[in-house]
Amino acid sequence: VSEEEKTEDYLFKIVLIGDSAVGKSNLLARFARDEFYPNSKSTIGVEFQTQKMDINGKEIKAQIWDTAGQERFRAVTSAYYRGAVGALLVYDISRRQTFDSIGRWLNELHTHSDMNVVTILVGNKSDLRDAREVSTAEGKALAEAQGLFFMETSALDSSNVAAAFQTVVKEIY
């Protein structure tokens, strides 16, 4: 077995989903490249990055897919979800509307992927303390009701970003 074939066993596809501007692309940029874009533009189509991770001493490759939250910029939905074993379902703690959309995103996820795709509900922009519209308790409660992992993150100050991705990959692995 070649080195390449060996690592293939540990290539996990993870999808980022959630409304436009919740910070999906910046979570990926922070995780994969330790970068942050204060004025990033909406994603058009699909992008992905492969990130090596060390889980219990084993090298895992997470292939993280990112698409537009806006319907008109999205690529073919079924192709986006195909083969996904993990998902980060992201809302913005400073915009309640993005939290209200979570049910819709969960439906889409369940329509297009395996029922047991490991999913974490992510309340991003935890740095925006003064603008918070969704409490931590509400996020936690929704996650519990839907059987999801939960974490609040900030792509801006890095808090919990790696932890959110690691939670999903560890559970898959």
| Residues at the interface with Mg ion (CB under 5 A) | 24-25, 43
Here the tokens at position 91 are 């809302």
Q: Candidates 7, 9, 42, 45: give the one binding ligand GTP (CB under 6 A).
A: 42
**Shortest distance, CB of residue 146 to ligand GTP, whole angstroms?**
20
Residue 128 partner contact from Mg ion, ligand GTP, none using kind-dependent CB cut-offs of 5 to 8 Å: ligand GTP
Quick note: the x/- pattern for ligand GTP over 149-168, rule CB under 6 A, is: -----xxx------------
Q: Candidates 13, 14, 15, 43: give the one binding ligand GTP (CB under 6 A).
A: 43
**Shortest distance, CB of residue 71 to ligand GTP, whole angstroms?**
10
Q: Which residues contact 156 (CB under 8 A, 6 or more apart)?
A: 26, 36, 125, 127
Looking at the Cβ atoms of 148 and 155, the one nearer to ligand GTP is 155
Rg (alpha carbons) of the chain, rounded to whole number: 15
Q: Candidates 62, 95, 120, 125: give the one binding ligand GTP (CB under 6 A).
A: 125
Q: Which residues of 111-145 are buried (b: 16+ CB within 10 A; e: fewer)?
A: ebbeeebbbbbbbbbbbeeeebebeeeebeebbee
What phi, psi does 121 have (nearest 5°)?
Answer: -85, 125
* End-to-end CA, the chain: 21
Q: Which residues bind ligand GTP (CB under 6 A)?
A: 20-26, 37-40, 42-43, 68-70, 124-125, 127-128, 154-156
